[in-house]
Amino acid sequence: MSASRRGSSSPAAPPPTPAEPRAPRWIAAGDVNGFLGLALDNVTNLVILASLLIGVFGFPADLVLGRMVPGTALGVLIGDVVYTGLAVRLMRLSGRADVTAMPFGIDTPTLFAMVFGVLGPVKVATGDAVLAWKVGMIATLAIGIVKVALAFAGDWTRRVVPRAALLGSIAGVAILLIAFLPMLKLLREPLVGLVALGVLLLALLGHVRMPLGLPGAFAAVLAGTVVHWLGVWLAGRLPHAIAVGTPGIALPWPTLVWIDALDVALPYLSVALPFALVTIIGGIDNTESAAAAGDEYRARDVLMTEALATIVAGLCGGVVQNTPYIGHPAYKAMGARAGYTLATGLVIGVGAAVGVLSLLVTLLPEAAVAPILVFIGLEITAQAFLASPPRHGAAVALTFVPVAAAVVVIQLGGVLGALGKTPGDLRGDAALTYGTLLVLGNGFILTAVLWGWALVTMIERRFLLTAAVLAVASLATLVGLVHSPLPGGAVFWPWAESAPRATALPLAGAYGVLAAVCAAASLQRR
């Protein structure tokens, strides 16, 4: 009957009402690849944080794995959950199903700056691991508070400070701390480290497809880990090499134990605070990168999330700030949507709280994980040159110099400690050389930014601005924010009796004379 009716001359039935459009799916198959890449990146950072603090500086494992790591991981959980929500909201507002959440996690340059510039030096100077933890919490809280303020002035900050100065200072940290120091660990077990590094470079730079489509970082760590444990098994050391304890619950909770360490923490803020500025600039850059890929997020939402996540992490025992990661277009190309950030946050936050990280620290050899840091260091360094105008290349290179001095001081400290000596035991030219390295290396991040900024303004022939930057450097030297000759980079008031005026005044005067010369050059140019 229905066929005859369709063929009759009776009025046609009204067309069916279109079905309601289905809400865009916020999770897809590509989220698996995205999760593996982002989660492994964050796990690597946590493993390295724990390994450096426990293995290099002798922090108690229960303090690191029970308080520092869970607090730091909590920031990752909060940030990834919020970024997932921002992506889902954008999907609903735009009606698009291909929206990708911005990646979020632990800031790698800050991790090394905190370990080698704050936590390690406090532990070495005082022998008190708990005091070092308190100082790390204060530095993380200070970074978060500064980031809240900068989130409202992020665009202005980006316009004022040249990219060569910001990226160059981080590139110096990247190549000399993030790449160079892990390379030393890599070569201690070359069969593991070089194999893992080769697989990683083939996958990420040579674009060689890994078996089963595994992400390059995952394949590299897997290859290095297999080689390591195969060697342990062949050598008959397997029963002695595996000593995995029972994972314990380590829930992060807010604490105010850091209040009594405020005075001790002040000298170390000059190392930590510049990273707040750098991650804010990076957050703006990453937001623009996401917009170019088709996902338009509000910069203020992105920046405030990383700021508040860092504050919560610091209040709950964390010692490293959080930041949006570079690589949104890459995750989008993988087909990831919003599920990968939610999964990463849950795995990192919950995994650290239930003690799974202690298993990873035992099972993942350092030589297998170190190549990821080498690659990150290479990429960040290359970006500093590629993203800056070619004429600013000299400014980028200049920012490496104070970082190099800091690395030499770190290594010399380890050598002297192994010999049962201290820098105070040095005499003659050796003592003079060490003191010069200390002056150049203390406050190295801020020094690098000021030097790079000053040279960029010279190249652009904006000599009056050069004079202003050098005047800031002179004032910073007078109080020890840069070039402090005191161990640990302690700050001081120039009129205090204990102030190292013999070193600080000539340096500050030199910057002042240079500022006057540049001001005169500006008048001559006019």
Q: Which of these ranges, 120-129, 250-259, 354-363, 407-416, has the smallest mean pLDDT?
A: 354-363
Last residue of a domain, which of 335, 354, 388? 388
220 and 306 belong to one structural domain = yes
Q: Could you give the CA distance from residue 138 to residue 115 in angstroms, rounded to a whole number?
A: 14
**Is-contact 453 459, C-beta < 8 A?**
no
Could you tell me the residue range of the domain that residue 460 belongs to? 401-525
pLDDT of residue 247: 56
What is the average per-residue pLDDT within 391-399? 92
What is the average per-residue pLDDT within 454-479? 93
pLDDT of residue 241: 58
374 and 433 belong to one structural domain = no
353 and 417 belong to one structural domain = no
Between residues 419 and 526, the one the model is more confident about: 419
pLDDT of residue 24: 58
Task: Please determine, for residue 118, whether its predicted confidence score (pLDDT) is greater than 50.
Answer: yes
178 and 253 belong to one structural domain = yes
pLDDT grade for 7, boundaries at 50, 70 and 90: very low
Last residue of a domain, which of 388, 409, 439? 388
Domain count, the chain: 2
3-state class of 209 per DSSP? coil
pLDDT of residue 155: 60
Is residue 168 a part of any domain in this protein?
Answer: yes
pLDDT of residue 19: 45
HSE, side-chain direction, 13 A CA sphere, residue 454: 22
Is residue 161 a part of any domain in this protein?
Answer: yes
Cβ neighbours for 392, distance < 8 A, ≥ 6 positions apart = 162, 163, 164, 455, 456, 459
pLDDT of residue 455: 96
Cβ neighbours for 21, distance < 8 A, ≥ 6 positions apart = 95
Is residue 495 a part of any domain in this protein?
Answer: yes
Helix (H) or strand (E) holding 323: strand 322-324
Query: 514-517 contacts: CB < 8 A, separation 24 or more?
Result: 514/470, 515/466, 515/467, 515/468, 515/470, 515/471, 515/474, 516/467
482 and 381 belong to one structural domain = no
What are phi and psi for residue 313, nearest 5 degrees? Answer: -60, -45
Mean residue pLDDT across the chain: 83
Q: Which of 53-67, 82-96, 248-262, 370-384 has the highest mean pLDDT?
A: 82-96
72 and 121 belong to one structural domain = yes
User: Rounded to 5, what percent of the chain is helix, strand, coil?
Assistant: 75, 0, 25
384 and 429 belong to one structural domain = no
pLDDT grade for 488, boundaries at 50, 70 and 90: low
pLDDT of residue 397: 93
pLDDT of residue 150: 82
**Is-contact 436 448, C-beta < 8 A?**
no
pLDDT of residue 431: 87
488 DSSP β-pair partners: none
Is residue 514 a part of any domain in this protein?
Answer: yes
What is the average per-residue pLDDT within 20-37? 70
What is the average per-residue pLDDT within 478-499? 80
**Is-contact 309 179, C-beta < 8 A?**
no
What are phi and psi for residue 323, nearest 5 degrees? Answer: -160, 155
End-to-end CA distance of the chain: 95
430 and 484 belong to one structural domain = yes
Query: 230-237 contacts: CB < 8 A, separation 24 or more?
Result: 231/191, 231/192
Cβ neighbours for 421, distance < 8 A, ≥ 6 positions apart = none
pLDDT of residue 6: 33
pLDDT of residue 242: 57
407 and 384 belong to one structural domain = no
Give me the DSSP letters along 282-305: HHHHHHHHHHHTT----HHHHHHH
380 and 434 belong to one structural domain = no
Last residue of a domain, which of 388, 412, 440? 388
Tens-digit pLDDT profile for residues 73-84 = 999 999 999 999
Pairing of β 322-324 and β 104-106? antiparallel
Between residues 2 and 17, the one the model is more confident about: 17
pLDDT grade for 367, boundaries at 50, 70 and 90: confident
Is residue 74 a part of any domain in this protein?
Answer: yes
What is the average per-residue pLDDT within 309-329? 89
Tens-digit pLDDT profile for residues 139-187 = 999 999 989 988 887 666 656 778 788 777 777 877 887 788 778 888 8
Between residues 12 and 216, the one the model is more confident about: 216
User: What percentage of the chain reaches a pLDDT higher than 70?
Assistant: 89
Between residues 220 and 498, the one the model is more confident about: 220
Task: Please determine, for residue 130, whether its predicted confidence score (pLDDT) is greater than 60.
Answer: yes
Task: Please determine, for residue 1, whether its predicted confidence score (pLDDT) is greater than 50.
Answer: no
51 and 179 belong to one structural domain = yes
Which amino acid is located at 395 in the chain? Answer: A
pLDDT of residue 8: 37
Q: For 61-214, where are the alpha helices, taking DSSP H only?
A: 61-63, 69-94, 108-114, 120-126, 129-151, 154-160, 163-173, 180-188, 190-204
Task: Please determine, for residue 5, whether its predicted confidence score (pLDDT) is greater than 50.
Answer: no
Tens-digit pLDDT profile for residues 253-295 = 999 999 999 988 887 887 777 677 767 777 877 787 778 778 8
pLDDT of residue 248: 67
Tens-digit pLDDT profile for residues 417-465 = 778 887 878 888 888 888 899 899 888 878 888 999 999 999 999 999 9
Is residue 19 a part of any domain in this protein?
Answer: no
324 DSSP β-pair partners: 104
328 and 457 belong to one structural domain = no
Is residue 452 a part of any domain in this protein?
Answer: yes
Cβ neighbours for 403, distance < 8 A, ≥ 6 positions apart = 169, 172, 173, 176, 177, 441, 444, 445, 448
Is residue 364 a part of any domain in this protein?
Answer: yes
